[in-house]
Amino acid sequence: MKVIGLMSGTSMDGIDAALLDINRRKTGLRFKLLAFETFPFPKDLPEKLIDVAEGNETTALISHLNFYMGELFAEASFKIAAKAKVEIHKVDLIGSHGQTIWHAPAPIPEGRYKIRSTFQIGESSVIAVRTGVTTIADFRPADVAAGGEGAPLAPYFHHALDKKKGKSRLMINIGGISNVTFLPRSSKKKILAFDTGPGNILIDGLVQAVTKGKSKMDRNGRIAAKGNIHLVLLNELMDHPFMDKKPPKSTGRETFGLPMIDHILDRGNQFKLSFEDLMATVTAFTSMSIFMNCETFILKKEAVDEVIVGGGGARNPMLMAFLKKAFHPVPFFQFEDLGLNGKAIEAMAFALFAYDTFHAIPDNVPSVTGAKKPVIMGKISPGNNFKKLFSSRHRVD
């Protein structure tokens, strides 16, 4: 089956789109990446999404953005199919993560209930109607309904990537939020994965705040490279309660968003830090939070043969230098070293999730999310190919 995967993450800067050829046969799962591209959002959209995620906007705007995002995801689907030279009507499924605007995995008492919640926008009916392709979206709520955190979900795909058995690996994805997956060498041990805290979210957020939006990121870590780490502020940041929280755990912009960026700027002013020193300190915090979580919850108990890093943060040399030094002497790789596109991993994962949902295969990992059981994830919005797809559903192809 040809399946498009769509992902927009915590960075809220664009849509990652991947087109895969996927099949499951008796010999196992096989997939091939046919095309990948990141399509930037329209200039004014990130600010609107951040305002909504920070709780500053109305339900009217949320409804509007839900359908607007659906149009953008549909447009990205057409573009990625064209890049792969595949006609859109020959695409079997689209799997869309949507755009998270709220994630609250900790149970909140509500009468006799304890409510966990997560909320992604990007109306799948719009994607299905515009493209004609049956679309599966809204994957996280099923895991949350089963008592899980709803995140991270990528470890299922990380396990599918792990073709080289007999070695234990850490797979670290640095998007807006960072997460780690521990893949043990023994199949008798459970996969462990969790969010470690900030990825690019604080680094990018500080750049955008200080430059008033003129710059979006610390390209190649150049700003941080000119600064010095302020140890007092670094230690304060490392005292964040999320660092000590035991897995399963997940987080997002509601924890590491604008209020924390404002706090860091205030502390920087109090310490009279330069922009460069502030960036060096926050970059160090990002890397240290990743390593400390790995050390506390994995490395103290398990031997690791390799560390593999992907996501947008893997293109920040300062961040990579910190991490490589911290994990030394464990061999340290990026996904590209293994012939994979590290930026495409999450979009590829949601293509696989759509494929598996269509075939009634659960994709959440209860040992990772804390869910009480495996569940089939996602909601189906029929496209023009819906009847044909489901009439042939008895076979796995």
> 371 and 315, same structural domain?
no
> 209 and 137, same structural domain?
no
> 177 and 234, same structural domain?
yes
CA distances from 60 to 65, 129, 196, 296 (A): 9, 22, 33, 44
Residue 286 lies in a domain: yes
> 375 and 289, same structural domain?
no
Region of 361 please: left (phi>0), alpha (psi -120 to 50) or beta: beta
Residue 22 lies in a domain: yes
- Under a CB-based contact definition with an 8 Å cutoff, are residues 221 and 206 in contact? no
Question: Residue 7 and residue 43: Cα distance in Å, rounded?
Answer: 18
pLDDT at residue 239, as a whole number: 98
pLDDT at residue 199, as a whole number: 98
> 258 and 162, same structural domain?
yes
pTM over 0.85: yes
> 333 and 273, same structural domain?
yes
Which domain-ending residue is among 343, 360, 377? 343
> 362 and 278, same structural domain?
no
**Helix residue ranges per DSSP H, 35-166:** 45-53, 59-83, 124-131, 140-145, 155-161
Residue 59 lies in a domain: yes
- Under a CB-based contact definition with an 8 Å cutoff, are residues 154 and 180 in contact? no
- Cβ neighbors of 361 (< 8 A, separation 6 or more) are 376
> 309 and 385, same structural domain?
no
What is the residue whose two structure tokens read 């900790």? 106
| Residue numbers in the chain where pLDDT is lower than 70 | 163-165, 188, 393-397
- Exposure letters 222-258 (e unless 16+ CB within 10 A, then b): ebbbebebbeebbebbeebebbebebbbbbbbebbbb
Which domain-ending residue is among 321, 343, 365? 343
> 369 and 239, same structural domain?
no
pLDDT at residue 164, as a whole number: 66
Question: Residue 207 and residue 159: Cα distance in Å, rounded?
Answer: 34
> 184 and 127, same structural domain?
no
The domain in which residue 335 lies consists of 156-343
Q: How many domains, in total, are found in the chain?
A: 2
State the CATH number of the domain containing residue 328: 3.30.420.40
